[in-house]
Chains A and B, each alone.
Chain A
Amino acid sequence: MTDILRLSIPLTAWLVAFSAVYGLQGVVCSERWAEAGLDLAAGRVALTMAWAAAAALQVACLLALRSPRLASRSAFVRRASLTLGITALVATLWTLLPVVATSLCL
Chain B
Amino acid sequence: MLAGCAESLSTVHPEGPAAGAIATLWWVMLAGATAIFLFVMVLLLLAFRRGEGPSGPDADSRRERVWIQSLGLGFSITILAALTAYGLFVGERLRPRPGPDVVTVRAEGRQWQWSFGYADAPGRATEGILHIPAGRPVDVEITSSDVIHSFWVPRLAGKLDAIPGHVNVLRIEADAPGDYAGLGAEFNGRDYAKHRFTVRAHDETAWNAFLRGETP
Contact = CB atoms under 8 A, between A and B. Distances in A.
Q: Do chains A and B touch in the complex (CB under 8 A)?
A: yes
Contacts of B81: 94
A102 B88 contact: yes
B142 to A, nearest CB: 15
B88 A103 contact: no
A106 B95 contact: yes
B97 A106 contact: yes
Contacts of B91: 102
B47 to A, nearest CB: 25
Q: Is the interface of B mostly helix, strand, loop or mixed?
A: helix
Contacts of B96: 106
Interface residues of B, number: 7
A101 interface: yes
A98 interface: yes
Interface in B56-97: 81, 88, 91-92, 95-97
Nearest to A106: B95
Contacts of A98: 88
A91 to B, nearest CB: 11
A62 B193 CA distance: 54
Nearest to A94: B81
Contacts of B95: 103, 106
A101 B88 contact: yes
A21 to B, nearest CB: 16
Contacts of A103: 92, 95
Contacts of A102: 88, 91-92
B161 to A, nearest CB: 16
A94 B97 CA distance: 26
A3 B46 CA distance: 39
A10 B64 CA distance: 23
Contacts of B97: 106
A94 B83 CA distance: 13
Interface in A67-106: 94, 98, 101-103, 106
Nearest to B94: A106
A94 B92 CA distance: 18
A98 B97 CA distance: 18
Nearest to B81: A94
Nearest to B95: A106
A12 B92 CA distance: 30
Nearest to A90: B77
B99 to A, nearest CB: 13
Contacts of A101: 88
A94 to B, nearest CB: 8
Interface of A: 94, 98, 101-103, 106
11 contacts: A94-B81, A98-B88, A101-B88, A102-B88, A102-B91, A102-B92, A103-B92, A103-B95, A106-B95, A106-B96, A106-B97
Given A106-B95, A106-B96, 9 more contacts: A94-B81, A98-B88, A101-B88, A102-B88, A102-B91, A102-B92, A103-B92, A103-B95, A106-B97
